[in-house]
Chains A and B, each alone.
Chain A
Amino acid sequence: AQKITQTQPGMFVQEKEAVTLDCTYDTSDPSYGLFWYKQPSSGEMIFLIYQGSYDQQNATEGRYSLNFQKARKSANLVISASQLGDSAMYFCAMREGETSYDKVIFGPGTSLSVIP
């Protein structure tokens, strides 16, 4: 079964507008964390934001915020004031448990295109 689901294969957003990228996850472990990574066409994975399952507040990093709804098992990424440089693939990912391994499972990704 898919652990991470991203139902939007492609998204378009007007420059300077906000956009929400959806992510749902599946785990029975009470301790886990959700990530969002950005992958531009150059290929390098860029860390954006992290939310721990026990964190009381939604994570924010500059223009990025994570809308964490634990009961619904969703961890949507909100990008405010989109910029042309935001055009990239975006991956939601999850780590489970509290081991030193920190194996991360990635979703299939959403391609975001910012329109001038």
Chain B
Amino acid sequence: DTGVSQDPRHKITKRGQNVTFRCDPISEHNRLYWYRQTLGQGPEFLTYFQNEAQLEKSRLLSDRFSAERPKGSFSTLEIQRTEQGDSAMYLCASRPPGTSSSYEQYFGPGTRLTVT
């Protein structure tokens, strides 16, 4: 039983470049979340997918950010024209369909982005 995987684990990019991250949720998990975590803070919600539909986006998700989940399986998060303030850990999480008494989200290891 594999967990949530994210690729790459680390990314260093120059300001102004575009970057794309990938998240593979646990199979059968139809709900997928993206979070951003800056140093010394808790994760902040970015966006939510149920199957292939993007149902909620945070105001944190500026127009430079776009997320997709084309076939309801893996998801990508793209940041265009990166800025130094985008440096953070980007976390992906997934949940199975239906109700769960614990509402647990299963997190991946994250992608650490450094913008120089």
Q: Footprint of B on A, CB under 8 Å?
A: 4, 33, 35, 37, 42-47, 50, 52, 91, 93, 95, 100-109
- Establish whether residues A47 and B102, one from each chain, have CB atoms under 8 Å apart when the complex forms: yes
What are 23 A-B pairs with beta-carbon distances under 8 A? A33-B103, A37-B107, A42-B109, A43-B112, A44-B109, A45-B107, A46-B107, A47-B104, A47-B105, A50-B101, A50-B102, A91-B42, A91-B43, A95-B103, A100-B31, A100-B50, A101-B55, A102-B31, A102-B103, A103-B45, A106-B42, A106-B43, A109-B42
B102: chain A residues within 8 A (beta carbon): 47, 50
Shortest CB-to-CB span from A106 to chain B, Å, is 3
- Given A52-B101, A100-B50, A103-B48, A44 and B107 contact (CB-CB distance below 8 Å): yes
A105: chain B residues within 8 A (beta carbon): 45
Shortest CB-to-CB span from B61 to chain A, Å, is 13
Indicate if B65 sits at the interface (CB-CB under 8 A). Answer: no
Shortest CB-to-CB span from A19 to chain B, Å, is 19
A108: chain B residues within 8 A (beta carbon): 40-42
